[in-house]
Structure 1
Amino acid sequence: MLNPVWIQTFSTVAASRSFTDAARRLGLTQSSVSEHIRRLEENIGRRLFVRDTHSVALTADGESLLVHARLILEAHARAESQFKGPRLRGRVRFGTSDDLVLGPLPRALAAFRDMHPDVDLEITIGKTADLYAKLDQDALDLLIGKRRPSGPAGVTLFREPLKWLGKTGTVIDIKQPLPLLLLPEPSMTRSLTLNAVAAGGLPWRVICTSSSHTGCIAAARGGLGITAQPAFLTAPGIDSPVNVSSLPALPEVEFVFLRARRLSKPAQTLLDILQQSDLRSAG
């Protein structure tokens, strides 16, 4: 059994590279720290540290355990947060664009649900322009979408470059109009894509218009053309065209959150989790 107390001591020693410093940080005696590490090593049957009079270094097994230790301690902290104090209850009406749902957002939402299972999380997936309208109509508490050139600015969560995607192995004939797979107007992704193509001086034609990023990706996977999507999006069967360097450079898209004027405690809690999460890597 991996005792969480031993794991915490192990992680602290690994971070400080010193039994003495780890003891100070944990409020323990150095002998207690040594005992925790000894019992952990005995329990797993592996040596975790190489020690001499001047330094402490992780062994290969210690490096491997450190990855698991971080996950164990995170899970332990989430469990403590869920079960201490009163359970959070209520409802959160949350809106998001479908490119985020296809990418990094679900893990952050799942963490919220794990921590607060009694909160009703109502998710609306749609185009950013439609979500802004719902927020104005007081039909949403929170939304994450792309920054609009006009209207409420929102608070930046992160920026992500757009990238060209097509069927794996696609080579684009730049002597022919670019076969574009786009969202309908109004769409920030569509506008940024067409502006980039126009700036690049290449001809283009719209092969497919889809109401969702999912549809654009499906059309790209089928070999109908190319689409511009946030760089965090990946899917089987699609990749950047082989000669992507010949295509117009694409800009970044900025993802922001907007909130209702008054937030319930559940909505504020979700907002705090989203702000603390690195959504670019959460997928």
Structure 2
Amino acid sequence: MQATDLQLDWLRCFVAVIDAGSLSAAAPLVHRSQSAVSMQIRKLEQAAGRALLDRGPRHLVLTPSGAELLLHARRMLELHGEALAALHGERLGGLVKLGVPDDYAARYLTPVLRSFALRHGAVEISLTCEQSTALIPKVQRGELDLALVSRDRPQRGTLLFNEPLVWVGAAAHEAWRRDPLPIAVYEAGSLARRDALAALAARRRRHRIVYNSSSLAGQLAAVDSGLAVAVLTQCSVPPGLQILGEAHGLPPLPAMQVAAYRSKAARDAPAVDALYQQMLRTLTRGG
């Protein structure tokens, strides 16, 4: 007789795959190998008696049955987290003031907050989205308790992973062919701006700044309109834009070191510590 129990480990892997967008990206979120995650999904589909995910050429897509199950899976995991908190007395409350650049928010902060909310739903989170150069001083002054930032110096916070910087352009406009090269940049002091200008200077590529914006949306608008090329974190490049490189006459760029940076003023706050630990568990990876 076919098994019908939906085990929590299977559901946890299923939700992680949806949130992360792929089996490989989900693996570190559930502390398993990619092959183990794939096996958990197969077991869940066998128990459900139907396909839950369609393996497309670029990413995984929910089937109608998968979309239906996802709603229940999230609730089951939430109830499981509430039960554990009730049994172990982990009833945290209070406010955590959190900062994150907008290019990291959707890709990296979303899985952190989803996992955190399963165990600590009573904690209120106040989110500030700004560039790392603005967030770091706020953490230092105690205006923010915790932030996910691009390091401005090697020892800043706890290193989580390296995020590639890439040149991007709109294929329909081919702005990279112009001389001098028109570029869109973040505000003065931005690490991405600094690295982009240094790379162009080292290559002796003629360029001119034609657009300034402190927001990711502003950068994307400049590129999409054909006004300029820009340097973005790889995680923030939308499908409609083209990643550029040596073949387009553009120099290589260094990676950003992404770190969890915690305020000294919030060292003894249990809710801040819980979110900090969740950030480390979810986002720390080698390389």
TM-score by length of 1: 0.69
How do 1:94-173 residues align onto structure 2 when only pairs under 5 Å count?
94-149=98-153, 153-173=156-176
Shift of 1:176: 0.5
Which aligned pairs between 1:51-90 and structure 2 lie closer than 5 A? 76=76, 78-84=78-84, 85=86, 86=89, 87-90=91-94
Q: CA deviation at 1:175?
A: 6.0
Out of 203, 207, 211, the residue aligned to residue 204 of structure 1 is 207
Q: 1:89: how far off? A: 1.1
The percent identity for this pair of structures is 24
Aligned-partner Cα distance in 2 for 1:227–1:215? 11
Q: Please give the secondary structure, in 2, of the residue aligned with 1:248.
A: coil
1:265 to 266, 270, 276: 270
Q: Using the alignment, how far apart are the partners of 1:204 and 1:41 within structure 2?
A: 57
- Residue 73 (structure 1) shift: 8.2
Name 1:3's counterpart in structure 2. 5
1:210-249 equivalent positions in 2, closer than 5 A: 210-241=213-244, 244-249=247-252
Q: How far 1:110 moved relative to its partner?
A: 3.0
Partner secondary structure for residue 235 of structure 2: coil
Rounded Cα–Cα distance in structure 1 between residues aligned with 2:228 and 2:125: 36
Change in Cα spacing, 1:170 to 1:240, as seen in structure 2 (3 Å) is: farther
Query: In structure 2, what is the Cα distance between the partners aligned to 1:224 and 1:257?
Result: 34
Partners of 1:191 and 1:42 in 2: CA distance: 53
Structure 1 residues 198, 174: closer, same or farther in 2, change over 3 A? Answer: farther
Tell me which residue corresponds to 1:92: 96
Runs (5+) with no aligned partner, structure 1 = 12-36, 47-63
- RMSD between aligned residues: 3.5
1:183-205 deviation line (CA, Å, top 9, x unaligned): 11111111011111111110110
CA distance in 2, matches of 1:157, 1:225: 31
Aligned partner of 2:112: which letter? A
Instruction: Give a deviation string over 1:136-159, Cα, whole Å, max 9, x none.
Output: 211111111111138x62111110
Cα distance in 1 for partners of 2:195, 2:236 equals 17
Runs of 5+ consecutive residues of structure 2 not aligned to the other structure: 14-42, 52-62
- Check if 1:250 corresponds to 2:257: no
| Structure 1 contact 161–252 (Cα < 8 Å) conserved | yes
